[in-house]
Amino acid sequence: MARILIIGAGGVSQVAVHKCAQASDVFTDICLASRTLSKCDKIAAQLKRPIRTARVDADNVPQLVKLIKDFRPDVVLNVALPYQDLHIMDACLETGVHYVDTANYEPPDVAHFEYKWQWAYQERFKKKGILALLGSGFDPGVTNVYTAWALKKHFDTIETLDIIDANAGDHGQPFATNFNPEINIREVTAKGRYWEKGKWIETDPLSVKKTMDFPGGIGPKKIYLMFHEELESLTKNFAKKGLKRARFWMTFSDNYLKHLEVLRNVGMTRIDPVLYNGHEIVPLQFLKALLPDPASLGPLTKGKTCIGCKIKGTAKDGRKREYYIYNICSHEESYKEVQSQAISYTTGVPAMIGAMLVATGVWKGAGVFNMEDFDPEPFMKKLNQYGLPWTEVFLK
Ligand code: NDP
């Protein structure tokens, strides 16, 4: 029996709200609040049970505090944008309510994300006796839980970790991003970075690539090395358990990369303001306004995603082994169930599960936590139960 306040009414929220509404044995009361009330009402109208909706500017802490005091949630699920993380954490601190999100804080004026700003809340959350669960999406999120599961169930030491995210979907558009275009393009155009023997090694954006043969009928795809936020917490937490190298890879189609290269070359991915006809505009924000809304891709997208972790290490039987754990998610099936494509689905389901484990006290504590800090077992069970079943195989 829990009350949940969900903030943000975009693609990920659409799935998280549907999934919370399905879990009526746990989430007895749901409030969906965002900057644009009509988007909340549109999601609410798709549900089989009534929920409350509200307008809130999540950058305005007093407004958030007022809403939280009025609705009295057990947990706040932040599925707005990374820019709102700290404001929502401030409001949770003021009201004494648990906090869950799916992406780490990023300042709007620098394309740089890092946990340091959120980890800095550790003492304040501890003192208040509340919990912040960071990164409860798929990657970060499920990938952290997969790694913790591999160590708990199969390995004495994990030596190398490769997180691999494949989207083998096709939306038929010349160029579109599968989640918020601004966040997505900032991430993809940043320098790559991986961790080896205690050091970060930087690479030029998308300059390291190889081909991987994916399961589930997906087949061979080019994967590109990128930096991704879960590498920061996983290397910190697993270095002491023998980890020597951690990398993150993502697939991109040649067509996506061709468009991105041109947009970057002409300056359309810049995030600094430029003067146009006497007005300051940020080119990337202008580009976002021109690109298809990721939510509109739902009915158009066909194919599957495959996200997982390849791990090498010393198994519990003492042998050196290679292990792969992954989920395959169908864009069409996701749309049939919750009217969203698989990118939003694979994020919204773990967001709901994280909030559920916190609200019900299965994952408990006071302070700021990453996903791998908790017992992976209850989360792994719920992934199978709520639509993201996983497969594990030993490759060697
Ligand atoms: P969308 O752009 O589709 O949705 C964002 C929502 O947040 C919109 O409804 C937007 O409002 C709302 N919002 C933005 N600013 C404010 C504000 N100041 N106050 C209130 N509401 C606000 O994004 P997605 O759904 O694609 O992504 C949501 C989050 O999930 C992001 O943080 C993203 O980084 C993360 N993510 C995590 C993944 C993972 O695996 N961990 C994968 C994919 C995404 P409006 O409608 O008015 O614009």
DSSP 45-105: HTSSS--EEEE--TT-HHHHHHHHHHH--SEEEE-S-GGGHHHHHHHHHHHT-EEEESS--
Q: Mapping DSSP to helix (H, G, I), strand (E, B) and coil, where does residue 362 land?
A: coil
* CA proximity to 6, closest of 43, 45, 49, 61: 43
> Using a 6 Å cutoff on CB, does residue 341 contact ligand 1?
no
Average pLDDT over residues 324-353: 96
What does the DSSP 8-state code read for residue 112?
-
Ligand 1 pocket check for 139: Cβ under 6 Å: yes
C-alpha to C-alpha distances, 158 to 118, 241, 345, 377, 378, nearest whole angstrom? 27, 7, 29, 18, 21
Task: Report d(CA 140, CA 43) in Å as an integer.
Answer: 25
Q: For residues 80, 270, 110 and 245, what is the CA-based torsion angle, rounded to 10 degrees? A: 90
Beta bridge partners of 302: 170
Instruction: Please list the residue range(s) of the chain that carry CATH number 3.40.50.720.
Output: 2-134
- H-type helices in the chain, by residue range? 11-22, 37-45, 61-71, 85-95, 116-119, 122-128, 142-153, 181-188, 230-238, 254-265, 283-290, 331-338, 342-359, 376-385
Residue 393's closest CA among 310, 280, 301? 310
Task: Give dist(CA 106, CA 286) in Å, integer.
Answer: 19
Could you give the CA distance from residue 55 to residue 41 in angstroms, rounded to a whole number? 10
In ligand 1, the atom with minimum distance to the C-alpha of 138 is 40
The radius of gyration of the chain's CA atoms, rounded to the nearest angstrom, is: 20
Nearest atom within ligand 1 for CA of residue 39: 46
Decide whether any atom of ligand 1 lies within 6 Å of the 78 Cβ. Answer: no
Phi, psi of 15 (to 5 degrees): -75, -45
DSSP assigned state of 295: G
Distance linking the first and last C-alpha atoms of the chain: 45
Q: What is the pLDDT of residues 31-59, one digit of tens each?
A: 999 999 999 999 999 999 999 999 999 99
The residue with tokens 């906090």 is 99
User: What pLDDT was estimated at residue 178?
Assistant: 84
Q: Given this model, what pLDDT does residue 110 score?
A: 82
Instruction: Measure 34 CA to ligand 1 centroid, in angstroms.
Output: 10
**pLDDT per residue as tens digits for the range 92-136:** 999 999 999 999 999 988 878 899 999 999 999 999 999 999 999
Ligand 1 centroid distance, CA of 392 (Å): 31
Ligand 1 contact via 58 beta carbon (within 6 Å): yes
Q: Give me the CATH topology for the region 142-340+388-394.
A: Dihydrodipicolinate Reductase; domain 2 (3.30.360)
Any atom of ligand 1 within 6 Å of the Cβ of 32? no
CA of 318 to the centre of ligand 1 (A): 44
Report domain 2-134's class.
alpha beta
Chain centroid to Cα 74, Å, comes to: 22
277 vs 299: CA distance, rounded Å: 38
Could you report the per-residue pLDDT of 300-336, keeping only the tens digit for each? 999 999 999 999 999 999 999 999 999 999 999 999 9
The pair of structure tokens assigned to 344 is: 């939003």
**Residue 230 · residue 163 · CB < 8 Å:** yes
Q: Is the beta carbon of 106 within 6 A of some atom in ligand 1?
A: no
pLDDT at 109: 85
- Residue that the structure tokens 């395959």 belong to: 328
For atom 3 of ligand 1, which residue has the closest CA?
A: 10
Please give the helix or strand (H or E) that residue 275 lies within, else none.
strand 274-276
Angle subtended at Cα 223 by Cα 206 and Cα 162, rounded to the nearest 5 degrees: 100
What is the model's pTM? 0.96
How many residues in total does the chain contain? 396
CATH 3.30.360.10 segments of the chain: 142-340+388-394
90 by Cβ neighbours in 10 Å (0-12 / 13-18 / 19+) ranks as: middle
What are the distances in angstroms from CA 394 to CA 11, 37, 166, 309, 324?
34, 48, 20, 12, 6
Average pLDDT, the chain: 96
153-198 pLDDT tens trace? 999 999 999 999 999 999 999 999 988 888 889 889 999 999 999 9
